[in-house]
Amino acid sequence: DIQMTQSPSSLSASVGDRVTITCRASQGISNYLAWYQQKPGKVPKLLIYGASTLQSGVPSRFSGSGSGTDFALTISSLQPEDVATYYCQKCDSVPYTFGPGTKVDIK
């Protein structure tokens, strides 16, 4: 099965900073990748699908990029409400494995 990794596992940044989280698949998955945001105590929320398509209602400061094995989620200007754990998920074929998550805090 294809394995998903994320880096870093956690980060702390200041409000207004540009933040980038990377996700790597052990084999190519084209653009079949989704990103989720899970705020503390809440249900995960779909942010991006197709590696770069923003889900309806998601702020434009979020963006996704990549294809094949290497992907990135970028927050252009970190806001206090962005404190959360972010997960990538492969969506090409089962099992639809999630990455281990990246916890984002405010410095």
Structure tokens at 74: 């970028």
* 45-74: contacts with another protein (CB under 8 A): 45-46, 48-50, 55
* 1-30: contacts with another protein (CB under 8 A): 1
Minimum CB distance to another protein, residue 25 (Å): 14
Distance between alpha carbon 85 and the CA centroid of its chain, in Å?
Answer: 9
Report d(CA 96, CA 24) in Å as an integer: 14
Among 19-27, 61-69, 71-79, 92-100, which window interacts with another protein (CB under 8 A)?
92-100
What Rg value do the Cα atoms of the chain yield, rounded?
13
Report d(CA 84, CA 11) in Å as an integer: 11
Of 14, 40, 94, 107, the residue at the interface with another protein (CB under 8 A) is 94
Among 20-28, 38-46, 67-75, 76-84, which window interacts with another protein (CB under 8 A)?
38-46
